[in-house]
Amino acid sequence: MIRYRETKEADLGAVTAIFAHYVTTGVATFETVPPTVDDWRRKVADVTARGLPFLVADDGTEVVGFAYASPWRPKPAYAHTVEDTIYLAPGQTGRGIGAGLLGELLARCADAKMRQVIAVIADTGSDASAALHRRFGFAQVGRLAGVGHKHGRWIDTVLMQRDLAP
């Protein structure tokens, strides 16, 4: 059984490893150097100090994914708009863990009085992330062509948005 919970210090090694996999092997993130455990410690502290969720999916023996909401832009007028981030450990896709993380993340963003959630999805040729977001009511609101260059290729991003207003 998967539990979705706030991130703890003991989870940071797993979060670091999961994200490093995507940095080094794919284009789902435009990071080119994997963040360290200390980088993640600072990220978790920043996100949670803002009253935003940073969650992990835990199967009882290990962390199998994580998700968090971060400010969309630094300007004050964007204070109620966040960007979501979701990553699953290799081999953990197709089990509903991403849906569980996204559902819990959206609920906690609503509790934190956020109004809009933005998803910036690298167009990797797979529709999995966009399909997951569509299932949760996100709509595609734009595409940025060729804005990322990684592993020798230019990558588009798809922008999706979900209104959390009651």
Q: How many CB atoms lie within 10 A of CB 86?
A: 22
**What CA–CA distance (Å, rounded) separates 154 from 123?**
10
- What is the tens place of the pLDDT at every residue in 4-52? 999 999 999 999 999 999 999 999 999 999 999 999 999 999 999 999 9
Could you report the per-residue pLDDT of 81-140, keeping only the tens digit for each?
A: 999 999 999 999 999 999 999 999 999 999 999 999 999 999 988 899 999 999 999 999
Question: Domain segments of the chain: what residues?
Answer: 3-163
Other beta carbons within 10 angstroms of residue 61's beta carbon come to 6
| DSSP one-letter string for 32-94 | SSPPPHHHHHHHHHHHHHTT--EEEEE-SSSEEEEEEEEES-SSGGGTTEEEEEEEE-TT-TT
Please report which helix (H) or strand (E) contains residue 140, including its range: strand 139-150
Q: How far apart are CA 79 and CA 166, in angstroms?
A: 17
| Overall CATH class of domain 3-163 | alpha beta
pTM of the model: 0.96
